[in-house]
Homo-oligomer: A and B are copies of this chain.
């Protein structure tokens, strides 16, 4: 079974690359599907689950987490439960034994024993801001400064939630098998290049 995991900077095109990879390779694709599964199991609303897992409140969440009074303890225990549910859902995906691409959720760490091919997707800040502008919904009208603040906040949360479970730091070169910069690429062409690379990894002799 081949598992590809995708970590990504916000606005880098990582999700699109992951989706395209799964299409090109004929692999199953998991991203929001994981949130929906947790929501179904816990009886909670999917967008609430997503917000709770990616919430900005996580910035108070650090190594002293269990002793921290900076977050409401009910919220805390709810988040711990959701994280545990998330782990179960991701374990279930791997146990199904089917080739897949999983975007986000530190799946490379959670599924380390399956030796997934772990990719991190990044892009120059300018390119990420442009991508966010192009994708922002009508009437949203965020300023450049607001978009940049969003990018930094979301990425900081991602880094923090990884720090809790691994020493392989979020977004650091050595934490992944491959780090890809999407700047200057057509994503379709980049997908073909990454897909070939991943297949060579799975077929390698060592």
Binding site for B on A (CB under 8 A): 9, 120, 122-124, 171-174, 176-181, 184-186, 189-190, 192-194, 196-197, 200-201, 204-206
Residues of chain B with a CB closer than 8 A to A172's CB: 172-173
Contact between B186 and A204, CB atoms less than 8 A apart:
yes
Sampled A-B contacts (20; CB under 8 Å): A9-B174, A123-B174, A171-B174, A172-B172, A172-B173, A177-B181, A178-B178, A178-B180, A179-B179, A184-B206, A185-B206, A186-B204, A189-B205, A190-B204, A192-B200, A193-B200, A194-B197, A196-B197, A196-B200, A197-B197
Q: Which 10 A-B pairs have the closest CB atoms?
A: A179-B179, A193-B200, A122-B174, A173-B179, A186-B206, A122-B173, A193-B197, A189-B204, A177-B181, A171-B173
Kindly state the separation between the CA atoms of A194 and B178 in the bound complex, as whole angstroms. 11
Residues of chain B with a CB closer than 8 A to A120's CB: 173, 179
Residues of chain B with a CB closer than 8 A to A176's CB: 179, 181
- The distance from the CB of A177 to the nearest CB of chain B, in whole angstroms, is 5
Kindly state the separation between the CA atoms of A18 and B186 in the bound complex, as whole angstroms. 26
Residues of chain B with a CB closer than 8 A to A184's CB: 204, 206
Kindly state the separation between the CA atoms of A201 and B185 in the bound complex, as whole angstroms. 8
Kindly state the separation between the CA atoms of A186 and B171 in the bound complex, as whole angstroms. 24
Residues of chain B with a CB closer than 8 A to A204's CB: 184-186, 189-190
Question: What residue in chain B is nearest A118 (Cβ atoms)?
Answer: B181
Residues of chain B with a CB closer than 8 A to A192's CB: 200
Interface centre among A171, A185, A194 (most CB of B within 10 A): A185
Kindly state the separation between the CA atoms of A186 and B201 in the bound complex, as whole angstroms. 10
Question: What residue in chain B is nearest A168 (Cβ atoms)?
Answer: B124
